[in-house]
Protein backbone atom coordinates (compact mmCIF):
# COMPACT_ATOMS: atom_id res chain seq x y z
CA UNK A 1 0.00 0.00 0.00
CA UNK A 2 1.52 3.26 -1.15
CA UNK A 3 1.49 6.06 1.38
CA UNK A 4 2.94 8.61 -1.07
CA UNK A 5 -0.38 10.42 -1.53
CA UNK A 6 -0.75 11.20 2.15
CA UNK A 7 0.18 14.80 2.99
CA UNK A 8 1.66 14.85 6.49
CA UNK A 9 1.21 18.59 6.91
CA UNK A 10 -2.44 18.53 5.87
CA UNK A 11 -4.72 19.99 8.57
CA UNK A 12 -6.35 17.37 10.80
CA UNK A 13 -9.91 16.45 9.82
CA UNK A 14 -12.43 18.92 11.28
CA UNK A 15 -9.54 20.76 12.94
CA UNK A 16 -10.06 18.77 16.11
CA UNK A 17 -7.34 19.28 18.71
CA UNK A 18 -8.07 18.14 22.26
CA UNK A 19 -6.00 17.94 25.39
CA UNK A 20 -8.10 16.92 28.39
CA UNK A 21 -7.64 13.17 27.80
CA UNK A 22 -11.28 12.25 28.45
CA UNK A 23 -12.92 9.38 26.59
CA UNK A 24 -16.54 8.30 26.80
CA UNK A 25 -17.31 4.88 25.37
CA UNK A 26 -20.95 4.06 24.67
CA UNK A 27 -21.60 0.41 23.95
CA UNK A 28 -22.13 -3.18 24.92
CA UNK A 29 -21.08 -5.27 27.88
CA UNK A 30 -21.16 -9.05 27.52
CA UNK A 31 -20.25 -12.09 29.54
CA UNK A 32 -17.96 -14.03 27.22
CA UNK A 33 -18.04 -17.83 27.30
CA UNK A 34 -14.91 -18.88 25.42
CA UNK A 35 -14.17 -22.38 24.15
CA UNK A 36 -10.63 -22.96 22.89
CA UNK A 37 -10.64 -25.78 20.32
CA UNK A 38 -8.16 -27.42 17.94
CA UNK A 39 -10.32 -26.20 15.03
CA UNK A 40 -13.58 -24.34 14.50
CA UNK A 41 -16.57 -26.67 14.05
CA UNK A 42 -18.35 -26.73 10.71
CA UNK A 43 -22.17 -27.09 10.54
CA UNK A 44 -23.16 -30.45 11.98
CA UNK A 45 -19.69 -31.10 13.41
CA UNK A 46 -18.72 -31.53 17.06
CA UNK A 47 -15.14 -30.65 18.00
CA UNK A 48 -13.90 -31.77 21.41
CA UNK A 49 -10.73 -31.38 23.42
CA UNK A 50 -11.11 -27.71 24.27
CA UNK A 51 -10.64 -25.49 27.31
CA UNK A 52 -13.51 -23.38 28.67
CA UNK A 53 -13.06 -19.88 30.11
CA UNK A 54 -15.55 -17.16 31.02
CA UNK A 55 -14.81 -13.48 31.41
CA UNK A 56 -15.81 -9.88 30.83
CA UNK A 57 -16.24 -8.85 27.20
CA UNK A 58 -18.40 -6.98 24.72
CA UNK A 59 -17.09 -4.46 22.23
CA UNK A 60 -18.01 -1.49 24.39
CA UNK A 61 -16.48 -2.91 27.57
CA UNK A 62 -13.35 -4.03 25.72
CA UNK A 63 -12.81 -0.60 24.19
CA UNK A 64 -13.52 1.22 27.45
CA UNK A 65 -11.07 -1.01 29.30
CA UNK A 66 -8.43 -0.48 26.61
CA UNK A 67 -8.82 3.30 26.72
CA UNK A 68 -8.60 3.21 30.51
CA UNK A 69 -5.48 1.03 30.48
CA UNK A 70 -3.97 3.34 27.86
CA UNK A 71 -4.20 6.18 30.37
CA UNK A 72 -7.34 8.07 29.35
CA UNK A 73 -9.87 9.30 31.89
CA UNK A 74 -12.55 6.91 30.71
CA UNK A 75 -16.31 6.86 31.23
CA UNK A 76 -18.33 3.89 30.05
CA UNK A 77 -22.07 4.06 29.32
CA UNK A 78 -23.63 0.61 29.10
CA UNK A 79 -26.38 -1.68 30.42
CA UNK A 80 -26.20 -4.90 32.42
CA UNK A 81 -28.88 -7.32 33.49
CA UNK A 82 -29.62 -8.26 37.09
CA UNK A 83 -28.18 -11.78 36.85
CA UNK A 84 -25.12 -13.40 38.39
CA UNK A 85 -22.80 -12.49 35.55
CA UNK A 86 -23.58 -8.78 36.02
CA UNK A 87 -22.22 -8.94 39.57
CA UNK A 88 -19.05 -10.60 38.26
CA UNK A 89 -18.72 -7.92 35.60
CA UNK A 90 -19.06 -5.07 38.10
CA UNK A 91 -16.41 -6.71 40.26
CA UNK A 92 -14.08 -6.82 37.26
CA UNK A 93 -14.72 -3.15 36.50
CA UNK A 94 -13.75 -2.37 40.08
CA UNK A 95 -10.58 -4.44 39.77
CA UNK A 96 -9.67 -2.58 36.59
CA UNK A 97 -10.33 0.76 38.26
CA UNK A 98 -12.87 1.61 35.56
CA UNK A 99 -15.68 3.75 37.05
CA UNK A 100 -19.14 2.19 36.87
CA UNK A 101 -21.27 5.34 37.25
CA UNK A 102 -22.29 5.11 33.59
CA UNK A 103 -23.61 1.55 34.01
CA UNK A 104 -27.36 0.90 34.31
CA UNK A 105 -28.70 -2.44 35.56
CA UNK A 106 -31.93 -3.51 33.88
CA UNK A 107 -34.36 -5.54 36.07
CA UNK A 108 -35.59 -8.96 34.94
CA UNK A 109 -33.16 -8.95 32.02
CA UNK A 110 -30.11 -11.12 31.33
CA UNK A 111 -26.73 -9.57 30.69
CA UNK A 112 -25.55 -9.76 27.08
CA UNK A 113 -23.75 -13.03 26.44
CA UNK A 114 -21.30 -14.12 23.76
CA UNK A 115 -20.32 -17.71 22.96
CA UNK A 116 -16.89 -17.64 21.33
CA UNK A 117 -15.07 -20.51 19.64
CA UNK A 118 -11.32 -19.96 19.21
CA UNK A 119 -9.14 -22.29 17.15
CA UNK A 120 -5.45 -23.17 17.49
CA UNK A 121 -4.48 -20.24 15.24
CA UNK A 122 -6.36 -17.73 17.38
CA UNK A 123 -9.16 -17.21 14.85
CA UNK A 124 -12.69 -17.13 16.20
CA UNK A 125 -16.39 -17.25 15.46
CA UNK A 126 -18.93 -15.70 17.78
CA UNK A 127 -22.59 -16.14 18.62
CA UNK A 128 -24.22 -13.30 20.54
CA UNK A 129 -27.40 -12.50 22.44
CA UNK A 130 -27.84 -8.80 23.19
CA UNK A 131 -29.68 -9.12 26.50
CA UNK A 132 -29.55 -5.87 28.46
CA UNK A 133 -27.57 -4.16 25.69
CA UNK A 134 -30.88 -3.71 23.87
CA UNK A 135 -32.05 -1.48 26.74
CA UNK A 136 -29.46 1.20 25.96
CA UNK A 137 -31.99 3.46 24.26
CA UNK A 138 -31.75 7.12 23.20
CA UNK A 139 -33.90 8.04 26.22
CA UNK A 140 -31.52 6.29 28.60
CA UNK A 141 -28.57 7.94 26.88
CA UNK A 142 -30.19 11.33 27.43
CA UNK A 143 -30.25 10.57 31.16
CA UNK A 144 -26.46 10.10 30.96
CA UNK A 145 -25.84 13.00 28.57
CA UNK A 146 -23.55 14.82 30.99
CA UNK A 147 -21.14 11.89 30.81
CA UNK A 148 -21.10 12.16 27.03
CA UNK A 149 -20.74 15.90 26.61
CA UNK A 150 -17.80 16.18 29.03
CA UNK A 151 -15.58 13.96 26.84
CA UNK A 152 -12.95 14.91 24.29
CA UNK A 153 -13.52 11.68 22.36
CA UNK A 154 -16.71 9.64 22.07
CA UNK A 155 -16.34 6.02 20.91
CA UNK A 156 -19.19 3.90 19.54
CA UNK A 157 -19.72 0.38 18.17
CA UNK A 158 -22.75 -1.52 16.85
CA UNK A 159 -23.73 -3.98 19.60
CA UNK A 160 -26.35 -1.54 20.91
CA UNK A 161 -29.50 -0.31 19.11
CA UNK A 162 -28.73 1.61 15.91
CA UNK A 163 -31.08 4.41 16.95
CA UNK A 164 -28.90 4.94 20.03
CA UNK A 165 -25.73 4.96 17.94
CA UNK A 166 -27.23 7.62 15.66
CA UNK A 167 -28.46 9.65 18.64
CA UNK A 168 -25.05 9.54 20.32
CA UNK A 169 -23.30 10.52 17.09
CA UNK A 170 -25.65 13.46 16.63
CA UNK A 171 -25.07 14.67 20.20
CA UNK A 172 -21.30 14.35 19.91
CA UNK A 173 -21.23 16.16 16.58
CA UNK A 174 -23.34 19.00 17.95
CA UNK A 175 -20.80 19.41 20.78
CA UNK A 176 -17.87 19.43 18.33
CA UNK A 177 -16.45 16.27 19.86
CA UNK A 178 -14.15 13.84 18.10
CA UNK A 179 -16.33 10.83 17.29
CA UNK A 180 -14.91 7.37 16.56
CA UNK A 181 -17.31 4.78 15.17
CA UNK A 182 -16.17 1.18 14.97
CA UNK A 183 -18.81 -0.35 12.64
CA UNK A 184 -18.78 -3.80 14.22
CA UNK A 185 -20.47 -6.22 14.02
CA UNK A 186 -20.71 -5.59 10.28
CA UNK A 187 -23.96 -4.00 9.16
CA UNK A 188 -25.13 -1.10 7.05
CA UNK A 189 -25.40 2.38 8.57
CA UNK A 190 -28.09 5.03 8.15
CA UNK A 191 -26.92 7.59 5.60
CA UNK A 192 -27.45 10.49 7.99
CA UNK A 193 -24.83 9.23 10.45
CA UNK A 194 -21.80 9.66 8.20
CA UNK A 195 -21.69 13.45 8.47
CA UNK A 196 -21.21 13.14 12.24
CA UNK A 197 -18.24 10.74 12.15
CA UNK A 198 -14.71 12.03 12.64
CA UNK A 199 -13.03 8.63 12.37
CA UNK A 200 -14.55 5.40 11.03
CA UNK A 201 -12.60 2.22 11.84
CA UNK A 202 -13.87 -0.78 9.84
CA UNK A 203 -11.97 -3.95 9.16
CA UNK A 204 -11.81 -5.24 5.59
CA UNK A 205 -15.11 -7.15 5.82
CA UNK A 206 -16.95 -4.30 7.52
CA UNK A 207 -15.69 -1.89 4.86
CA UNK A 208 -17.16 -4.15 2.18
CA UNK A 209 -20.48 -4.31 4.03
CA UNK A 210 -20.69 -0.54 4.41
CA UNK A 211 -19.91 0.23 0.79
CA UNK A 212 -20.96 -2.83 -1.20
CA UNK A 213 -17.55 -2.61 -2.86
CA UNK A 214 -14.73 -5.20 -3.11
CA UNK A 215 -11.87 -4.88 -0.62
CA UNK A 216 -9.49 -7.63 -1.71
CA UNK A 217 -6.44 -5.41 -2.26
CA UNK A 218 -5.02 -1.98 -1.46
CA UNK A 219 -6.52 -0.32 -4.53
CA UNK A 220 -9.99 -1.62 -3.72
CA UNK A 221 -9.66 -0.68 -0.04
CA UNK A 222 -8.68 2.86 -0.99
CA UNK A 223 -11.63 3.17 -3.36
CA UNK A 224 -14.09 1.88 -0.76
CA UNK A 225 -12.72 4.10 2.01
CA UNK A 226 -12.82 7.09 -0.33
CA UNK A 227 -16.51 6.39 -0.94
CA UNK A 228 -17.07 6.80 2.82
CA UNK A 229 -15.20 10.11 2.80
CA UNK A 230 -17.60 11.25 0.09
CA UNK A 231 -20.49 10.55 2.47
CA UNK A 232 -19.07 13.00 5.02
CA UNK A 233 -16.67 10.95 7.16
CA UNK A 234 -13.52 12.92 8.01
CA UNK A 235 -11.09 9.98 8.08
CA UNK A 236 -11.14 6.20 7.73
CA UNK A 237 -8.75 3.73 9.34
CA UNK A 238 -9.14 0.24 7.88
CA UNK A 239 -7.75 -2.46 10.17
CA UNK A 240 -6.17 -5.33 8.23
CA UNK A 241 -5.14 -7.86 10.86
CA UNK A 242 -1.72 -9.24 10.03
CA UNK A 243 -1.33 -6.63 7.28
CA UNK A 244 -1.58 -3.67 9.67
CA UNK A 245 -3.87 -0.72 8.96
CA UNK A 246 -4.56 1.86 6.28
CA UNK A 247 -5.41 5.51 6.95
CA UNK A 248 -7.43 7.32 4.30
CA UNK A 249 -8.22 11.04 4.42
CA UNK A 250 -8.86 13.76 1.87
CA UNK A 251 -5.07 14.24 1.85
CA UNK A 252 -4.38 10.69 0.66
CA UNK A 253 -3.61 7.32 2.20
CA UNK A 254 -0.89 5.75 4.32
CA UNK A 255 -0.23 2.13 5.22
CA UNK A 256 0.94 1.15 8.71
CA UNK A 257 2.55 -2.31 8.97
CA UNK A 258 1.51 -4.81 11.61
CA UNK A 259 3.83 -5.78 14.43
CA UNK A 260 4.84 -9.42 14.71
CA UNK A 261 2.93 -11.41 17.32
CA UNK A 262 2.51 -14.98 18.47
CA UNK A 263 -1.24 -15.14 17.93
CA UNK A 264 -3.26 -16.94 20.60
CA UNK A 265 -6.66 -15.22 20.45
CA UNK A 266 -7.81 -12.40 18.14
CA UNK A 267 -11.10 -11.76 19.98
CA UNK A 268 -10.12 -8.35 21.38
CA UNK A 269 -7.73 -7.23 18.63
CA UNK A 270 -10.01 -4.64 17.05
CA UNK A 271 -11.36 -3.40 20.38
CA UNK A 272 -7.85 -2.97 21.78
CA UNK A 273 -6.93 -1.00 18.66
CA UNK A 274 -9.96 1.27 18.97
CA UNK A 275 -9.55 1.86 22.70
CA UNK A 276 -5.89 2.81 22.42
CA UNK A 277 -6.67 4.96 19.39
CA UNK A 278 -9.37 6.83 21.32
CA UNK A 279 -7.09 7.40 24.31
CA UNK A 280 -4.24 8.80 22.24
CA UNK A 281 -6.52 11.06 20.22
CA UNK A 282 -8.13 12.34 23.42
CA UNK A 283 -4.70 13.45 24.59
CA UNK A 284 -3.30 14.75 21.31
CA UNK A 285 -6.08 15.25 18.76
CA UNK A 286 -6.37 14.24 15.12
CA UNK A 287 -3.14 16.08 14.31
CA UNK A 288 -1.33 13.08 15.85
CA UNK A 289 -3.40 10.40 14.11
CA UNK A 290 -0.37 8.62 12.60
CA UNK A 291 1.31 8.13 15.98
CA UNK A 292 -2.02 7.08 17.46
CA UNK A 293 -2.39 4.33 14.85
CA UNK A 294 1.16 3.10 15.46
CA UNK A 295 0.53 2.84 19.20
CA UNK A 296 -2.83 1.12 18.66
CA UNK A 297 -1.21 -1.48 16.41
CA UNK A 298 1.48 -2.15 19.03
CA UNK A 299 -1.15 -2.60 21.74
CA UNK A 300 -3.18 -4.98 19.58
CA UNK A 301 -0.10 -7.11 18.90
CA UNK A 302 0.20 -7.70 22.64
CA UNK A 303 -3.52 -8.41 23.06
CA UNK A 304 -3.62 -11.14 20.42
CA UNK A 305 -0.74 -12.96 22.12
CA UNK A 306 -2.97 -13.63 25.15
CA UNK A 307 -6.28 -15.47 25.60
CA UNK A 308 -9.51 -13.66 26.37
CA UNK A 309 -10.97 -10.21 25.78
CA UNK A 310 -10.53 -7.63 28.57
CA UNK A 311 -7.99 -9.87 30.32
CA UNK A 312 -5.78 -9.77 27.21
CA UNK A 313 -5.52 -5.98 27.06
CA UNK A 314 -2.09 -4.47 27.81
CA UNK A 315 -1.30 -1.58 30.09
CA UNK A 316 0.31 1.52 28.60
CA UNK A 317 3.73 0.73 30.06
CA UNK A 318 3.71 -2.66 28.31
CA UNK A 319 3.11 -0.96 24.98
CA UNK A 320 5.77 1.71 25.43
CA UNK A 321 8.28 -0.94 26.54
CA UNK A 322 8.15 -2.63 23.13
pLDDT score of 11 more than 80? no
CB 145 within 8 A of CB 164: no
CB 175 within 8 A of CB 149: yes
- The answer to the question of whether 121 is labelled as a binding residue is no
pLDDT tens-place string over residues 135-165:
999 999 999 999 999 999 999 999 999 999 9
Q: How far apart are CA 315 and CA 322, in angstroms?
A: 12
C-alpha distances in Å from residue 2, one per residue of 218, 254, 255, 294 = 8, 6, 7, 17
- The answer to the question of whether 141 is labelled as a binding residue is no
- What is the pTM (predicted TM-score) of this model? 0.90
Local confidence band at 308 (pLDDT 50, 70, 90 cut-offs) = confident
Q: How far apart are CA 282 and CA 61, in angstroms?
A: 18
- The answer to the question of whether 58 is labelled as a binding residue is yes
Q: How far apart are CA 53 and CA 172, in angstroms?
A: 37
Q: In a 3-state reduction of DSSP, which class is residue 41?
A: coil
- The answer to the question of whether 306 is labelled as a binding residue is yes
Whether 51 is catalytic is no
pLDDT at 3: 39
Four-way CATH pick for 13-30+58-112+132-320: 3.40.50.300, 3.40.1190.20, 3.30.70.20, 3.30.470.20: 3.40.1190.20
Rg of the chain's alpha carbons, rounded to an integer? 18
pLDDT score of 115 more than 70? yes
List the chain domain ranges.
13-30+58-112+132-320
- The answer to the question of whether 251 is labelled as a binding residue is no
Per cent of the chain over pLDDT 90 is 87
Residue 235 burial class via C-beta count within 10 angstroms: exposed 0-12, middle 13-18, buried 19 and up: buried
Nearest to 33 by CA among 16, 49, 51, 17: 51
pLDDT score of 1 more than 90? no
Q: How far apart are CA 73 and CA 23, in angstroms?
A: 6
Q: Which of 9, 83, 262, 271 is catalytic?
A: 271
- The answer to the question of whether 83 is labelled as a binding residue is no
pLDDT tens-place string over residues 25-76:
999 999 999 999 999 999 999 999 889 999 899 999 999 999 999 999 999 9
Amino acid sequence: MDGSRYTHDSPPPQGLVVSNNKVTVIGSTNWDICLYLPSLPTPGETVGGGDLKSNLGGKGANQAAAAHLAGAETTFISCLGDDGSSADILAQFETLGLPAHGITRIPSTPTGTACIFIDANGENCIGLTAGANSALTPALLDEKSGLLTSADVVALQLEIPMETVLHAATLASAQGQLLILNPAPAQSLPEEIYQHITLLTPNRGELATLTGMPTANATEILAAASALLAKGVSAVVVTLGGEGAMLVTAGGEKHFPAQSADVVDTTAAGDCFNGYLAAHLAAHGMADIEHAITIAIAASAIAVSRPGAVVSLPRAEEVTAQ
